[in-house]
C-alpha cells in the first residue's frame, strides 16, 4: 500500500486466501473525498476477517510547515491540508510511491480527477496482478473515437480488470463527520458489487448495489454540469422555484443523454437511487460547482481565478465535463436538444452572458 504526491491510494494486503487487498487512489482535487473514504475503509478492514488490517494510502507528497504531508498523516493520523479536524484510523498508512502501492494489490479504488486517469493507469499497469478488480469514484467523462468514453471503460481497457463504480449524494466533509448519507454502487458483476459494499458500508454510509453501472457513472458526471447552472441562478438572485426548475430540466437532460449514449439498459429507477436525483439535489445546493458558479456571476472573475481563490488548489468538474459533453453533442449535431448543458458550456468558455441562462430555461422543450 502506498501514496503519492498526486494521488491518494489505499492498499490492503490479503489476510487469507479469501481476503482481498485494496487500493484507493486520489489527487489533490479529490483528496478530501479520498481521505473520507480512507477513514471508512480503515475502520472496516479492522473489523473484518477478510482483509489485512493495514491499509496503505498513496498520497501526493507536499511540504506543510516544513514537514512532509505523509509524515504528518503517519504520525498525527490526520490529513491536515485536505481533511483537517478528522482523525484517520492508525492502520491507514501514507506512502509516496504509486508503483510500490499497487504491488500485490487485488482491489483498486480510484478517486482522482478524471483527466489524470489515463496516465495513472499507464504507470501502474506493469504492477497489476491477475484477478485484480477495481471501483471508481471518479465523476467525469472523456471523449473517445466513437464519442462518449466512461472513466471506468478507460480503467477497464488499460488495466484489463473488471471495474465497478460508486456515485451518490455524499459530500466529503459530511461523510467524514459520519452524518447519515446514501450512495450507489453500479456493478456489472454482482459479486464484486457486494464485496465493495462490505468494504465501504457503515451504519451512516448506506449503500445500494445496482446492475446499471454505466448509468450510475454517467449520473455522477452530468449532475456537476447542472450544479453549475444552479450556481448561476443563485448568483443572478433567482429563488428556489428557479433552482427547482434547473434541477428538473437538468435531470431531464441527464436521462435523455444517458439513453442516447449508454451502451446497456437505462432504467428510470436508477435515477431515483442516490446516484441520480439525490446527488443532483445535494450538489445543486451544497457542492463546490454551485458555489464557484455563483461567485462567477457575482465577481465577474474567471473560473480559473475562482478555483485558485476558493478551492485550495482543487479543480471543478462541472465546467470541464460540460466541455466534453458539448463536443460529443456537437459531433452528433444535437446541441439544440440539450439547451441547459449547452448554455453552461457557452457561459463558461465562449463568453455567453450569464444572464442569458434564464432563456434556456424559458425555452426548454417540454419533452425530450
Q: Which residues are annotated as a binding site for NAD(+)?
A: 116, 172, 288, 315, 317
Burial class from Cβ neighbours inside 10 Å (0-12, 13-18, 19+) for residue 233 reads buried
Local structure of 135: helix, strand or coil: strand
Among the options 43, 223, 263, 337, which is catalytic?
Answer: 223
Question: Which parts are annotated binding residues for substrate?
Answer: 139, 288-289
Cell of 315: 479543480
Residues 6 or more apart whose Cβ sits within 8 Å of residue 102? 2, 9, 11, 23, 108, 124, 127, 128
Which residues sit opposite 204 in a β-bridge? none
Residue 223 known to be catalytic: yes
CA 33 – CA 37 distance, rounded (Å) = 6
With 0-12 CB in 10 A as exposed, 13-18 as middle and 19+ as buried, what is 239? exposed
Q: How many angstroms from the chain centroid is the CA of residue 311? A: 16
State the binding site. 116, 139, 172, 288-289, 315, 317
3-state secondary structure of 203: coil
293 contacts 235 by C-beta, under 8 angstroms? yes
Cα–Cα distance, 194 to 107 (Å, whole number): 13
Q: Are strands 92-95 and 67-68 parallel, antiparallel or unpaired?
A: unpaired
Are the CB atoms for 22 and 52 separated by under 8 Å?
Answer: no
With 0-12 / 13-18 / 19 or more C-beta atoms within 10 angstroms meaning exposed / middle / buried, residue 131 is: exposed
Distance from C-alpha of 187 to C-alpha of 213, rounded to nearest angstrom: 5
Do the Cβ atoms of 182 and 200 come closer than 8 Å?
no
* Surface-to-core class of residue 367, CB atoms within 10 Å of its CB (0-12 exposed, 13-18 middle, 19+ buried): exposed
Task: Look up residue 4 and give its three cell numbers.
Answer: 503519492
Q: Which residues are catalytic?
A: 223
Amino acid at each position: 500500500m502506498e501514496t503519492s504526491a498526486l494521488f491518494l491510494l489505499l492498499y490492503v494486503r490479503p489476510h487469507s486466501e479469501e481476503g482481498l487487498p485494496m487500493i484507493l487512489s486520489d489527487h489533490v482535487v479529490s483528496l478530501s473525498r479520498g481521505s473520507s473514504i480512507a477513514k471508512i475503509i480503515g475502520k472496516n478492514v479492522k473489523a473484518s476477517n477478510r482483509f489485512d488490517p493495514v491499509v496503505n494510502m498513496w498520497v501526493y507528497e507536499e511540504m506543510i510547515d516544513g514537514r512532509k504531508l505523509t509524515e504528518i498523516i503517519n504520525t498525527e493520523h490526520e490529513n491536515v491540508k485536505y481533511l483537517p479536524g478528522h482523525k484517520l484510523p492508525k492502520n491507514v498508512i501514507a506512502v509516496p510511491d504509486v508503483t510500490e502501492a499497487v504491488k500485490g494489490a487485488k482491489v483498486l479504488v480510484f478517486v482522482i480527477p478524471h483527466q489524470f486517469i489515463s496516465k495513472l493507469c499507464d504507470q501502474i499497469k506493469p504492477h497489476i496482478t491477475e484477478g485484480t478488480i477495481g471501483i471508481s469514484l471518479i465523476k467525469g467523462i472523456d471523449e473517445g473515437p466513437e464519442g462518449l468514453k466512461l472513466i471506468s471503460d478507460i480503467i477497464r481497457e488499460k488495466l484489463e480488470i473488471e471495474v465497478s463504480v460508486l456515485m451518490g449524494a455524499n459530500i466529503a466533509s459530511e461523510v467524514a463527520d459520519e452524518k447519515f448519507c446514501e450512495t450507489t454502487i453500479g456493478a456489472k458483476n454482482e459479486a464484486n458489487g457486494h464485496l465493495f459494499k462490505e468494504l465501504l458500508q457503515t451504519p451512516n454510509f448506506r449503500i445500494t448495489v445496482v446492475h446499471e453501472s454505466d448509468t450510475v457513472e454517467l449520473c455522477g458526471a452530468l449532475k456537476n454540469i447542472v450544479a453549475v447552472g444552479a450556481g448561476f441562478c443563485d448568483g443572478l438572485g433567482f429563488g428556489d422555484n428557479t433552482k427547482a426548475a434547473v434541477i428538473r430540466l437538468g435531470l431531464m437532460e441527464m436521462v435523455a443523454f444517458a439513453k442516447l449514449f449508454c451502451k446497456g439498459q437505462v432504467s428510470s429507477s436508477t435515477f431515483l437511487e442516490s446516484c441520480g436525483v439525490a446527488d443532483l439535489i445535494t450538489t445543486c445546493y451544497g457542492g463546490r460547482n454551485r458555489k464557484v458558479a455563483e461567485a462567477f456571476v457575482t465577481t465577474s472573475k474567471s473560473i480559473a481565478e475562482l478555483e485558485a481563490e476558493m478551492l485550495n488548489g482543487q479543480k471543478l468538474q462541472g465546467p470541464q465535463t460540460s466541455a466534453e459533453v458539448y463536443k460529443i453533442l456537437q459531433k452528433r449535431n444535437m446541441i439544440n436538444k440539450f439547451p441547459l448543458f449547452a448554455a453552461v458550456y457557452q457561459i463558461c468558455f465562449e463568453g455567453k452572458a450569464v444572464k442569458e441562462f434564464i432563456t434556456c430555461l424559458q425555452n426548454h422543450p417540454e419533452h425530450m
